[in-house]
Amino acid sequence: MLITSSSELAAVCARLAKHPFVTVDTEFLRETTFWPKLCVIQLASTAEAVAVDALAPGMDLTPFFDLMVDPAVVKVFHAARQDVEIVWHLSKRIPEPLFDSQVAAMVLGYGDSISYDQLVQRTNGTQLDKTSRFTDWSKRPLSPAQIDYAIADVTHLRDVYVKLTGELQKRGRSDWVAEEMRVLTSPDTYRQEPERAWERFRSRVRKPRELAVLMEVAAWREREAQARDVPRSRVLKDDSLFDIALTGPKSVEALGAMRSIPKGWERSRDGMAVVEAVQAGLARDPRELPPIDKHRPQSQSQSATVELLKVLLKMVAEKHHVAAKVVATSDDLDRIAESDEADVGALKGWRRELFGDKALALKHGKLALAIERGRVTTVERTPAVVIAEA
């Protein structure tokens, strides 16, 4: 069923709101824009499934946004971040309560970032037809094949949701998924603030002067990309942005002398704006800049600790049938090796109970790794007692 009018959408959303959960998916385009262009919305309850033409003339999506924040209805997505970002951008509201089947699958050990079609295959035994995956969803009219493809994404998700929630309850991991949903339902996850655009490159700068220029130029690029609704690279490529931060060209001529800047671009309106941003960065008070992440090479002992932590992580993930990626990242392991007080996810909540405490015990010699019947296992170590001679 294809919904093409606001009245139809309102009626559908009223019916869906009577169910404990709805499955949701979207089709959008983003290759040539900064903001995703919403084309189709798919919704399903246990009683019906529809596709909504978000580009239909006069379509008012308010009933859909209202449904997304209905506290009585769980909204089920797979790999929800981009879909939630769309809802946030268009309505400044976030779907909640939220369930992400990809996160739940990772918690249950189906693998790191499992795709939707793979998850459907493994849970329902169904092979999905993905021939319409890369079609142009902005062209109208939508073909029957496109509509069938779109609706299939939410009808199979119903069965996936039921199976995963059953497994989570059986294994006592529902709270694990709920903890992960806090990040996906936080507005901070989706805000695109120009003043914070520099943070994507913070690990690449080493000097206050570089950081000051980076902050100004990155903020300018972000504002331009948002205002023009084009990808950031259409305004200024990442490599050029970083080169400008390193060299700090104070004039149009200095900007034009850079190899990463296209010939003649420095004389454009954008080129002049970049020079102004550079000058604003150089004028910043270094004492008011954020601290620079100082890269410190790992010592041999830290490197060895990280390697042992990797083995421990793999062992724990296999033993408890959970994806290693959702327990701890490579950065988590590096930071744990450096500090017991590292502010990382692996040392918080259920991750600490599952892995973090063992990681610290291994780091301090209270836990050892051993091979037993061809499998890695842990052995608690008793500290040696030193007896002083009389």
Fold of 300-380: DNA polymerase; domain 1 (1.10.150)
User: What is d(CA 320, CA 329) in angstroms, rounded to the nearest whole number?
Assistant: 17
CB distance 3 to 12 below 8 Å: yes
Which one-letter amino acid corresponds to residue 149? Answer: Y
Q: Measuring CA to CA, how many Å separate 311 from each of 24, 302, 321?
A: 38, 14, 15
Looking at residue 129, its pLDDT comes to 81
DSSP string, 252-312: HHHHHT-TTSPTTGGGSHHHHHHHHHHHHHHTS-GGGSPPPPPP-PPPHHHHHHHHHHHHH
Q: What is the pLDDT of residue 84?
A: 98
Residues 311/338, Cβ–Cβ less than 8 Å: no
pLDDT at 205: 87
Q: In a structure prediction context, what are the per-residue pLDDT tens digits for the chain, which is 390 residues long? A: 899 999 999 999 999 999 999 999 999 999 999 999 999 999 999 999 999 999 999 999 999 999 999 999 999 999 999 999 999 999 999 999 999 999 999 999 999 889 999 999 999 999 888 777 778 999 999 999 999 999 999 999 999 999 999 999 999 999 999 999 999 999 999 999 999 999 988 888 889 999 999 999 999 999 999 999 999 999 999 999 999 999 999 999 999 999 999 999 999 999 999 999 999 999 999 999 998 866 566 677 788 999 999 999 999 999 999 999 999 999 999 999 999 999 999 999 999 999 999 999 999 999 999 988 888 888 887 665 444 443
Question: Where in the chain are the domains?
Answer: 2-189, 194-283, 300-380
CB 106 within 8 A of CB 322: yes
Phi, psi of 23 (to 5 degrees): -95, 145
Q: Which residues contact 112 (CB under 8 A, 6 or more apart)?
A: 106, 323, 324, 325, 326
Q: What are the two backbone dihedrals, phi and then psi, of residue 33, each rounded to the nearest 5 degrees?
A: -130, 160
The predicted pLDDT at position 46 comes to 97
Q: Which two tokens stand for residue 226?
A: 């948002």
Q: Which residues pair with 28 in a beta bridge?
A: 38
Tokens representing 219?
């903020």
Strands 74-77 and 98-100: parallel
> Which pTM does this prediction carry?
0.88
Q: Rounded to whole angstroms, how far apart are CA atoms 84 and 106? A: 19
| Rounded distance between C-alpha atoms, residue 265 and residue 255, angstroms | 9
For the record, the structure tokens of 79 come out as 């790999």
Report the top-level CATH class of 194-283: mainly alpha
What three-state secondary structure class fits 376? strand
Separation of alpha carbons 252 and 62, rounded Å = 48
Helix or strand (DSSP H, E) at 377: strand 375-380
> Is 23 strand, coil or helix?
strand
Question: Tokens for 94?
Answer: 């976030």
Residue 206 token pair? 């080493």
Q: Same CATH topology for 2-189 and 194-283?
A: no
Does domain 2-189 fall into CATH 3.30.420.10? yes
Q: Report the alpha-carbon distance of residue 274 to residue 216 in Å, rounded.
A: 9
Alpha-carbon distance 229 to 322, whole Å? 39
CA distances from 359 to 30, 108, 349, 363 (A): 41, 21, 14, 6
Partners of 74 in the β-ladder: 21
